């Protein structure tokens, strides 16, 4: 309306200035085009654009006491608003800016410095380092809101990238630990825990219990590193048993 030179029909430049009928009709046409049809039907009796404008303000902005109540509700929402640890800066800033815009529509103006200070106060614990740096190194009253958001986003990308690197290193470490449990002789995983064991006294682990049943491990490809023959582990080698029996006999003779 201001661009078309008809805003003066709503707010005259001078008190008592007579309205231009042509501009008034043009302003009414603009207003009726911009509002929903059901509201337009309720305001067709108005012949002056200012009455239509005042009716819209009362309906959407409300009278003073309604405006005060809405503004108090918005202030409480701003005070209780906090960014969550799993929330992104973009999502939170969108939510925060929406509340600030609603407050401005109720004629509660927030300066750039106030918005920056509120935004920094609403950051979670993981952002305390960057918040402290911004407060110490910059003048918050002269900092633009978009600049503060940009610095927070850069810090967010840095810590998110660090978390991804830590997760990748954790998976690599876990994979290396699992790989270290693979038997170098038979290729079975966790052989020291579930297989034949480390010592000769672990029960000759060629058999293993599974749900109360026992099964025989296929050892046709297993090579004994004591005698060099296939079909058994070194701790099951018959030569080992013979040598052990011989040692027992020698000890009984000595004692």
Q: What is the DSSP letter of 19?
A: P
pLDDT digits (tens, 9 = 90+) for 142-170: 899 999 999 999 999 988 876 554 555 55
Angle in degrees, CA 62, 63, 66, rounded to 5: 70
How many residues appear in the chain?
A: 255
Residue with tokens 């000890």, as numbered in its chain: 251
Q: How would you classify the pairing of strands 207-210 and 213-216?
A: antiparallel
pLDDT digits (tens, 9 = 90+) for 192-220: 444 434 444 444 444 444 444 444 567 77
The answer on pLDDT for 222 being more than 60 is: yes
Side-chain half-sphere exposure of 44, counting CA atoms within 13 A:
6
pTM summary value: 0.43
Smallest CA-to-CA distance from 127 within 91, 97, 168, 86 is with 86
The answer to whether 1 and 34 are in contact (CB under 8 A) is: no
The phi and psi torsions of 216 (rounded to 5 degrees) equal: -95, 125
Give 19: exposed, middle or buried? Use CB within 10 Å, 0-12, 13-18, 19+: middle
The answer to whether 112 and 143 are in contact (CB under 8 A) is: yes
> Mean pLDDT lowest for which of 11-20, 74-83, 150-159, 226-235?
11-20
């Amino acid at each position: 309306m201001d661009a078309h030179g008809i805003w003066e029909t709503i707010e005259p430049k001078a008190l008592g200035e007579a309205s231009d009928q042509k501009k008034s009709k043009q302003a009414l046409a603009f207003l009726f085009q911009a509002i929903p049809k059901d509201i337009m039907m309720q305001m067709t009796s108005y012949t002056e654009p200012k009455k239509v404008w005042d009716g819209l303000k009362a309906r959407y902005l409300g009278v003073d006491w309604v405006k005060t109540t809405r503004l108090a509700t918005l202030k409480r929402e701003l005070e209780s608003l906090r960014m969550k640890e799993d929330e992104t800066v973009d999502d939170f800033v969108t939510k925060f800016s929406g509340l600030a815009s609603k407050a401005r529509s109720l004629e509660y103006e927030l300066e750039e410095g106030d918005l920056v200070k509120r935004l920094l106060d609403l950051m979670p614990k993981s952002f305390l380092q960057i918040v402290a740096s911004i407060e110490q190194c910059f003048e918050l009253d002269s900092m633009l809101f978009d600049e503060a958001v940009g610095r927070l986003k850069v810090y967010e990308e840095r810590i998110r990238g660090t978390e991804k690197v830590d997760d990748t290193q954790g998976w690599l470490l876990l994979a290396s630990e699992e790989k270290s449990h693979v038997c170098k002789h038979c290729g079975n995983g966790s052989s020291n825990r579930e297989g034949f064991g480390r010592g000769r006294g672990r029960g000759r682990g060629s058999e293993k219990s599974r749900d109360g049943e026992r099964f025989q491990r296929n050892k046709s490809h297993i090579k004994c590193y004591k005698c060099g023959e296939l079909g058994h582990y070194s701790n099951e080698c018959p030569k080992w048993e013979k040598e052990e029996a011989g040692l027992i006999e020698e000890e009984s003779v000595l004692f």
